[in-house]
Amino acid sequence: MKALINKLNLPDYVVEILEESPHIVFPRSKEELVNLSFGDTSGDVYDVTYETPGHGMVTEATITRCKNGVVVNYPDDYMRRRDPDCLLVADDNDTDKPKYDDVYRENFEGLRNETFDWLKGRNLIVLPFKAGGDQYGYDALLIAPANAGFFACGLADLQGFLNIEELDPAFSPKAIIFLAPPFRHTHFGGKQMVIHNRLEKVHELFSYNLYPGPSAKKGIYGVLLNIGESEGWVTVHASTVKVVTPYDNEIVIMHEGASGGGKSEMLEGIHKQLDGRIVLAENTQTGEKTYIKMDENCAIYPITDDMAICHPDMQNDSKKLVVKDAEAGWFLRLDHITGYGTSPQHEKIFTQPEEPIVFFNIDAVPGSTCLVWEHIKDSDGKPCPNPRAILPRRLVPDVIDEPVEIDVRSFGVRTPACTRDNPTYGILGMFHILPPALAWVWRLVAPRGHNNPSITASTGLVSEGVGSYWPFATGKMVEQANLLLQQVTANSNTRYILIPNQHIGVYKVGFMPQWIAREYIARRGSAKFKQEHLVETRCSLLGYSLDSIKVDGQYVRKAFLYPERQGEIGVEAYDKGAAMLNEFFKKELEKFNTPELDPLGAKIIELVLSDAKVQDYVDLIPMKY
């Protein structure tokens, strides 16, 4: 065992944790990880429990063995979705995030040592992995209690674990996750706390909960953002897809946005009725549906689902952003799959997978096939809005592994219905073309938007924070803003669009706008638009609208391009919604107006604060038509 520990090249204090553990497991295969999810027993149901001072024996999760994988359910509703405010920083490096010492009025070192002592007394799973992918990623390690095998199994699929027997002699972790679930009760009032301690040689990540979203996924994202901030690059919060038309035109679209902004949906085929028709929209007042039909759809080649690494070693002279997937597996939300046939491509993968899948928040019967549309009920009797599955990239059909150049960067926004009687910011049209300066502004503000299913709290118009990845970052907002601006100015041949989802004015549209935009732009062969076809949108923050959109021989009604033309809205209600959006942007941008902000960025923000016209943004950073 000592020889295996030595292969990890760990600091002495971490070696001490492992050497004092009664028993350590180094998983060698996915099959072994699946078995460890059940405490290495042959049972079909396994409760992950901990003796917790002051709370007795607490069941944190119940694991069910199904024919198609491992199903994880949490007794506590709160643990079924990510808490957006669970991150604290424990070190003395620059940060805009709340610090443990300030919040709890004590030095973190005491809790750190208490966590280490707790791990020393337990059987452990130790899992080496790559944070950020095999080619451009960084060595990392998980140290977890042995009964949390499902967590290790999920992380292995998300990040790509390394077999201890095949480890590179140069392996030396830049990040270590220390998993200690009971501490959320004994120290944090039940919250999903994740604490980052950015030391000189290793980034320590203390995960005090068993939901992988804040730590195994977003925690590692925070590690990559921290490395990038120090080295001058970004891991963007985005899905990426190559789209090939029936006429063999190709285009690569990267779709960014807050959780629930449509990143995973950009990788899906367009949803159709059984008769082949597409429900473009449904009037929320009358129930009337608008249909279109497409005989042939574009082929979809997925590239990234949520995290796209923009490492400087990948960039070239094309003046287009170059990205690669930062993950080995995708943490897919399945709330939109409510019955058989909703998403056939996903249903086929998950129902009859080539290897066991790790599911979350799905109602499961031991020994049966887990069905992804049977979501677990919350305590109020309603289906959990955040059912999930971890899909290894190796199981994704037609997935692209190598770096790609981005033709179009889109940004998704969840929008509520807007009507004359209830004006809201749901005034976005089918999609908008953004000048680069405005595209940067949207990435600074990153509205979380309407009815977000992925997190514990989402009401009204709230900012997800810079890049839409700010909830996972540990550094300075203005540094991330500057890095994103450098990305925009250095990649002038990448173009930008803005896409709503859920509603366009009075119409319920789901994620149809981004599927229509994808089909339309791909069929055109590029996102270059003639200047005469661009119309300045009534709300200048929305950039340009197109004078018309024609897809597969059918024109999209102008009411979907210009919501103010909808009879249920009108100009007055539209302008009220625009005022809400403008006020929100001005409030959120004030925090970036600091001496550290790039001077060009300061000029762009001043345009927003002065209600500038769209052309003013183009004058600052030229837009290639």
d(C-alpha 408, C-alpha 502), whole Å: 22
Q: How far is CA 339 from CA 73, 335, 356, 372, in A?
A: 20, 10, 22, 8
d(C-alpha 149, C-alpha 48), whole Å: 9
Inter-residue contact 14 to 28 (CB < 8 Å)? no
The domains found in the chain, sorted by start residue, are 2-24+81-231 (3.40.449.10), 235-321+406-620 (3.90.228.20)
pLDDT at site 529: 84
Q: Has this prediction a pTM greater than 0.85?
A: yes
Mean pLDDT within 437-465:
80
Express each pLDDT in 24-35 by its tens digit. 999 999 999 999
d(C-alpha 160, C-alpha 131), whole Å: 8
Packing angle of the helix pair 436-445, 570-589 (nearest 10 deg): 70
d(C-alpha 148, C-alpha 221), whole Å: 21
The residues, any chain, with a CB within 8 Å of residue 343's CB and separated by 6 or more, are 268, 271, 336, 337
Signed CA dihedral, 14, 17, 20, 26: sign only: negative
Mean pLDDT within 296-310:
95
The residues, any chain, with a CB within 8 Å of residue 377's CB and separated by 6 or more, are 363, 383, 384
Q: How many helices (H) and strands (E) does the chain have?
A: 16, 29
Reading the block at residue 57, the tokens are 């024996």
pLDDT at 508 over 60: yes
The residues, any chain, with a CB within 8 Å of residue 242's CB and separated by 6 or more, are 250, 251, 252, 300, 301, 303, 400, 404
Reading the block at residue 117, the tokens are 């002592």
pLDDT band for position 40 (cuts 50, 70, 90): confident
**Tokens 């998403």 correspond to what residue?**
343
Reading the block at residue 306, the tokens are 């949520």
d(C-alpha 255, C-alpha 237), whole Å: 8
pLDDT at site 114: 98
Question: Which amino acid would we find at residue 256?
Answer: E
pLDDT at site 449: 74
**Tokens 């599911």 correspond to what residue?**
359
Annotate 199-228 with DSSP letters as a single string: -SS-EEEEE-SS-SIIIIIHHHHHHHHHHH
Smallest CA-to-CA distance from 136 within 404, 9, 325 is with 325
Inter-residue contact 490 to 322 (CB < 8 Å)? no
Inter-residue contact 136 to 311 (CB < 8 Å)? yes
**Tokens 């955040």 correspond to what residue?**
386
Reading the block at residue 382, the tokens are 């309603």
pLDDT at site 453: 58
pLDDT band for position 456 (cuts 50, 70, 90): low
Express each pLDDT in 167-199 by its tens digit. 999 999 999 999 999 999 999 999 999 999 999
Express each pLDDT in 225-259 by its tens digit. 999 999 999 999 999 999 999 888 899 999 999 88
Entry field: residues in the chain: 625
7-11, 40-44, 95-99, 324-328, range with the lowest pLDDT = 40-44
Reading the block at residue 201, the tokens are 């040689």
**Tokens 């909808």 correspond to what residue?**
566
Q: How far is CA 486 from CA 185, 344, 437, 443, 490, in A?
A: 43, 40, 11, 13, 6
The residues, any chain, with a CB within 8 Å of residue 85's CB and separated by 6 or more, are 457, 471
Q: How far is CA 112 from CA 104, 109, 119, 189, in A?
A: 14, 5, 11, 18
Inter-residue contact 116 to 180 (CB < 8 Å)? no
**Percent of the chain beyond pLDDT 70?**
98
Within a 13 Å sphere around the CA of 532, how many CA atoms are in the beta-carbon half?
Answer: 0
Reading the block at residue 233, the tokens are 């690059």
Mean pLDDT within 261-283:
91
